[in-house]
Amino acid sequence: MKRSEVIEARKRAAKMLADAGIVITPEEAENLEVADFGLGRLEKEGLEIVVYVNNDRYCAKELVLFPYQTCPEHKHPPVEGRPGKQETFRCRKGIVYLYVPGEPVASPKAKPPSEYYTVFHEIVLRPGEQYTLPPETLHWFQAGPEGAIVSEFSSPSVDEADIFTDPNVKRLPVIED
């Protein structure tokens, strides 16, 4: 991903947060993570993240998704003797289509952007609704037409340990000048 793409995505995500009435500091806006997962398709498969806190006890983030943007299918494995990350997603703005193991929905509302999506039990989150994922649960999610903002509350996050279904995913962003 080019630095100019990262800067533009940060501005766009910060504006979405401001429009939703979610205040972030200038430092948080400057450090907002833009993840294209090494796939080079940020608009289709990507995520913009504000990390408020991530320590050895808990983690809190804002996840910003542009319209129809998808966070690729993954799970959070045990790390250093601790169970995998447990996370609660609370929708703040927009609609989020979350997919987990279970009875697949006949007509998913989200469109998987590649062949690397395997779970299709659909959970629809609207503003004020939330869902908790147990550790090691395979999942993926996609924003609706307006994009979405999701608050994530979880046990400690070790993003580099996440296991993705797509073998081409690189969780930590590589930024080129």
Question: Could you tell me the two tokens for 131?
Answer: 């869902």
pLDDT, one tens digit per residue, over 105-128 is 999 999 999 999 999 999 999 999
pTM, rounded to two decimals: 0.96
Architecture of domain 3-164 in CATH?
Answer: Sandwich (2.60)
pLDDT, one tens digit per residue, over 85-109 is 999 999 999 999 999 999 999 999 9
Per-residue confidence at 177, pLDDT binned at 50, 70, 90?
confident
Q: What three-state secondary structure class fits 22? A: coil
pLDDT: which is higher, 177 or 4: 4
The answer for residues whose C-beta is within 8 angstroms of residue 129's C-beta and 6 or more apart is 90, 91
Query: Domain residues of the chain, as ranges?
Result: 3-164
